[in-house]
Amino acid sequence: MQNLEGRVAVVTGASSGIGLGIAKALAGHGVKIVMASQSADRLAAAAEEVRTLGADVLEVPTDVAQKAEIERLAEKTLERFGAVHILVNNAGVYAPGYAWELDDDDWDWVVDVNYWGTVNGIRTFMPHLLEQDEAHVVNVSSAGGLMTAMCHGPYTSTKHAIVGLSKGLKVEVAMKQSNVGVTLVCPGGVATNISSQFDRSGPDGQPRGERPLPDEVKELWKAVDATVDGGISSDEVGQMVHQAITENVFWVLPNAECYFPIFDQEFADMKNAIRN
């Protein structure tokens, strides 16, 4: 999709962070933007920011974990713009802690948003994308979907699942001989507010709040926060995603190099295991 002027993009998790960065990048190239996020207030503020770029913007408060709300998002998109060409499955949450100590609410919340939110997006929007002369799907996973990431089992499990889902989707659209491209984004250190989200979101739409954590987990998350705070901007990621769409690139790893020592060690361990 080399020319995006006049195309329509749906972006979930668009009220902040990478989702907002992608929305702004696409808006800057003449794309009509449909922004979705659970918080109506934060979404309205973000939509106004994108409108300042001259974009035609529709905001639709949406809980991506609910298939009916994703279907409503598609209906609103088609009512306003008549078509959809780009789907960005970006909405994501996390809950830190030992995998066996996190409760059902935390597990269900993260799996429903991160995994089922992406599946709901693909199942709902893909028939519309296949109708277009060209279209594109962007799934946002994480560097945590490619490597060991301890003390946030629900998050890293779902992000690994998005990697597998995206690889399969790329092959499936090729089997259909369609013109739908697929991009998988696995961000490393990117300055977002995901690590301070608990006062804004949580299970059932209620703020999760901070919960007691063992000291060693607290120290781990201090290091994670430092990596996030010192990362590249979400706007930079947005520009990378725009380029990936126009060039039909599958892998996008924004600032994943900050985790390369972990990647290198894991690949070394895998090779040793194969030899043995």
- How far is 204 from 7, CA to CA, in rounded Å? 33
The answer to whether 132 and 179 have CB atoms below 8 angstroms apart is yes
Q: Which helix (H) or strand (E) covers residue 217, if one does? A: helix 215-229
| 3-state SS assignment for residue 36 | strand
Cα 246 to Cα 38, 47, 237: the distances in Å are: 29, 23, 14
Amino acid identity, residue 243? Q
- How far is 145 from 17, CA to CA, in rounded Å? 18
- How far is 133 from 100, CA to CA, in rounded Å? 47
Query: Which residues are known catalytic residues?
Result: 155
The answer to whether 15 and 39 have CB atoms below 8 angstroms apart is yes
Q: Which helix (H) or strand (E) covers residue 185, if one does? A: strand 180-185
Strand pairing class (8-12; 57-61): unpaired
Q: What is the DSSP letter of 269?
A: H
Which token pair is 241?
């995603």
State the distance between the two ends of the chain, measured CA to CA, in whole angstroms. 46
